[in-house]
Amino acid sequence: MYLITERDGSLGTYGVETVGPPLPVEAFVGTGKIKGHENPWPVFMDRVAGVVSVPTDGYGMHVNISRRPLASREGWEQRFLDSVNDCKRLVQFVAGRNENNWAGFRSPGRDRYNASVDKYRVANVKDEVIEIRLFKAHTSHSRMRANVQFCDALLRYTKRAARGLGIADDMTFIEWVRARPRKYGDLIALLADYVGWASSGRKEKPWGEPNMDDPDDYNDDYDNDNDDYDNDDYDNDNDDNDDE
C-alpha cells in the first residue's frame, strides 16, 4: 500500500495534497486493521504531526465513496445524498467548517443527485463515486478517522431508513452511532461536543466566520480531477458486521 504526495495548482506555491489508494472501510473503523492489506495512513499521519500545518480553513479532506454498492437497494443513494444536504447543522459540525464556495449544499433535483460539471458541492456526485468535500483538513489521525466513520455511519443508517435525515433527526442518528462504540469511537468522541452545542438552540452554522484565504483562490481555473484515488471504497459486504 502506498500514498502519493503531489503538487496541486489549487494549493499555491508550497501546498501539497496526499492521495490514498482505495481502501475498505475497516481501515478507518475499529482497530483499523485490514486483513491481508497494509494501512498506510496511521504511520503517515504520525510522521507529519507537528511538521505539516493546515494554515487556513480553505484546505480540505475529500472522502470518495463507491456508488456501486448503493445501487443494491432502491433509493439508498438518494437517501444518503438527502441526508448530507439536509442535515446541515450536523454535517457542518463534523466537517469542521461551514459550507462555502468550494463545497455547498444543494436543493433536491439534478444538482443534488446527478453527476455534473459543478464539482463544488458538499456531496459531489461523479460517474463512479460520491466525493464528500466539506471536511476541513487535519493532521490528526483520529480526526481523519472520525470523518470517514461519519460517512460510513451515514451510509449504513440510510440503507435501512425510510427517508434521509433532516435537521431535526440529528439526535436520532447520534444515538444510533453511540450504540456502536467499537466501530465508531473517534466519531463518538467528536459528537460529544455537538450534543451540548445543539441543545443551546443554535440551528444552522456551527462555526464563526472562517479564515477563507482559500488555496483555490490562487487559481480559480485549475480543475483538480486528481482525487480519483478513493480514501474510502465503501464495501457493502461488511454491512452485516454491525454491532446491533
Q: What is the pLDDT of residue 211?
A: 47
| Phi, psi values for residue 10, rounded to 5° | -75, -10
Residues 6+ apart with CB under 8 A from 184: 29, 149, 152, 153, 177
Q: What is the pLDDT of residue 4?
A: 76
Q: What is the pLDDT of residue 235?
A: 40
The C-alpha cell 494554515 sits at 55
**Distance between CA atoms of 57 and 233, rounded to whole angstroms?**
26
pTM: 0.79
Q: What is the pLDDT of residue 218?
A: 32
Below-70 pLDDT ranges, the chain = 1, 8-14, 52-58, 200-244
